Amino acid sequence: MRGQLEFGTLLVRMVLGRPLRATARLGDTMTDDPVAALRRWTDSGGTWQVIAGGAGAITVALLPCTGGEEVDRLVSDDPALRAYLDGRTGSADH
């Protein structure tokens, strides 16, 4: 059943002209695991804020622990990131 679901997802991505696998960009670097990148950021004391979402890619601003200016951005269409955020708008949301 899981294989059929993955195939269906792949087929939908092809029809919609989306990349075949989820993508994530952290600054100028591509990353395979946006959830791990976001966790590393918060584990290091940084904070984050979702600045764009919706049906497409999610954009997360990475902020220093002081809450100052944006240091970097994480942009991803990975469903795992969407599930990890689960409607939260920032690292202060629990």
- Note the helical H segments in 1-94: 2-16, 34-43, 79-85
Distances (CA, A) of 12 to 6, 17, 55, 56: 10, 8, 14, 14
Q: Whole-model pTM above 0.85?
A: no
- Angle at the Cα of 16 (from 14 to 21), degrees rounded to 5? 50
What pLDDT sits at residue 22?
52
Condensed to tens digits (0 to 9), the pLDDT of residues 39-57 reads 988 898 898 899 887 777 8
Q: What is the DSSP string of 18-41?
A: --SS--EEETTEE-S-HHHHHHHH
